[in-house]
Every structure is written in C-alpha cells, then in structure tokens.
C-alpha cells in the first residue's frame, strides 16, 4: 500500500514554530507513522552557563523570559522552515525529524527513517 506524502498543516506548523521559539537549548521532534505527522515532542535543556554568561546577577526566570522574547522567527524564516520540514517529511513513512536548537537558533535538522519489515513479524515476538 503506497504511503501518501506527509504535508505540514498550518496548525502543526504553528505548534512547531511556537516550540522552537520556546526552547533556547534542546530539540523539537516530529514523529511520523504511516506517512502522517502524528506527534510533536519538545525537549528543553537548561544550560546553566548560558544563563550566567548572558546576565550575571539576574534571576533565572527573568533570563528565560528575555531569551523567549529574543527568539523570534520572521515570516521569511517561517516560510523557509515550512519548506525544509516538508522536504524532510517527503516520502517518510515511519521515523522522525529532529530540529536541534542551540542558543535560541535552529542549527540542525536530522531525519531518522525507520523501515517496517513485514516478513520478520512474529520471529522474536509480535513485531518490530
């Protein structure tokens, strides 16, 4: 059965952009099953050295608010992001796209493709 290409809806894109904006260090993972964008996972890492370098003496919650405010994507960047994500999702039946954010910038996109092998089901359990 052919898998339809995955497209990114406007609602999903809004969630992806909001997730990228809210993470200063971490990842946003797009989970794909049966050719559909099924889930978005966000991992936020707190880098203690980043908080201290940027504003020594300022409390952490104020620093987090400042970082979230500075991390703004303009319309051109959002359009490019949508194209890049759609390109990575193209022909992906099972797997994930991982957007890596460092210092409030999207620095890398990883694509992990999983293969489902129907002939191996039941050999070592119920499947893969």
Q: Which burial class, exposed, middle or buried, applies to 106 when counting CB atoms under 10 A from its CB (0-12, 13-18, 19+)?
A: middle
0.75 surpassed by pTM = no
Closest CA relative to residue 40, chosen from 71, 10, 19, 9: 19
Q: Is 125 left (phi over 0), alpha (psi -120 to 50) or beta?
A: left
The residues, any chain, with a CB within 8 Å of residue 75's CB and separated by 6 or more, are: none
User: For the segment 41-56, what is each residue's pLDDT rounded down to a tens digit?
Assistant: 999 998 887 666 655 5
For position 109, what pLDDT does the model report? 93
What residue ranges do the domains of the chain occupy? Answer: 10-110
What tens-digit pLDDT sequence spans the chain (128 residues)?
455 555 678 898 889 989 998 898 999 999 999 888 999 999 999 888 766 665 555 555 544 444 444 556 788 888 888 888 888 888 899 999 999 999 888 899 999 999 877 766 666 665 55
pLDDT at 1: 45
Q: How far apart are CA 41 and CA 43, in angstroms?
A: 7
pLDDT at 71: 53
DSSP, collapsed to helix, strand or coil, labels residue 96 as strand
pLDDT of residue 41: 96
User: Which letter does DSSP use for residue 127 in this model?
Assistant: -
Q: Which pLDDT does position 31 carry in this prediction? A: 95
């Amino acid at each position: 059965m052919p898998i339809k290409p995955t497209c990114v809806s406007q609602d999903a894109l809004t969630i992806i952009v909001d997730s990228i904006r809210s993470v200063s260090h971490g990842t946003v993972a797009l989970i794909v099953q049966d050719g559909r964008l099924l889930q978005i996972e966000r991992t936020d890492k707190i880098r203690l050295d980043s908080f201290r370098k940027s504003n020594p003496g300022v409390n952490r919650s104020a620093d987090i608010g400042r970082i979230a405010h500075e991390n703004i994507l303009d319309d051109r960047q959002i359009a490019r992001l949508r194209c890049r994500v759609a390109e990575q999702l193209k022909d992906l039946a099972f797997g994930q796209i991982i957007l890596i954010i460092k210092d409030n910038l999207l620095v890398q996109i990883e694509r992990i493709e999983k293969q489902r092998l129907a002939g191996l089901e039941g050999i070592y359990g119920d499947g893969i």
